[in-house]
Amino acid sequence: MPFVRIKYIIPQAAKNHQAEPQFIKYKVIGAWEQVAPGFFSEAAALTKAVDFQKGTLTVACLDKDLSFGLRALSPQLVRALNECLGRERVFSLAVEI
């Protein structure tokens, strides 16, 4: 049996074990950690993606001004997240203070 890269095995294993929604949630939350600091330098310290359901990523934010900025740039953040993911998974962003 030849060696296969893990990045090809995990998605298939998730699908086989009916864990695909959780795997997608994990990928989306990870994408937030990569994308958000590119828009706001303080996002890494003051925000955390907490949930992803039905195309909506919920982000907790510790700063009121930053939350306004996240809401204002929501379309651009959604676009960047989907580019990072390689497919359209995120449709909206919910920011909680």
The model's pLDDT over 33-84, given as tens digits with 9 standing for 90+, comes to 999 999 999 999 999 999 999 999 999 999 999 999 999 999 999 999 999 9
Q: Where are the domains of the chain?
A: 6-96
- What's residue 1's pLDDT? 58
Write out the CATH class of domain 6-96.
alpha beta
Question: 2 falls in which pLDDT band (50, 70, 90)?
Answer: confident
| Distance separating alpha carbons of residues 78 and 93, to the nearest angstrom | 7
| Distance separating alpha carbons of residues 89 and 21, to the nearest angstrom | 11
| The residue to which tokens 């009916």 are assigned | 18
Strands 92-96 and 56-61: parallel
Structure tokens at 13: 């294993």
- What's residue 16's pLDDT? 75
| Distance separating alpha carbons of residues 74 and 13, to the nearest angstrom | 32
Closest to 91 in 3D by CA, of 61, 60, 52: 52
pTM score > 0.85 for this model? no
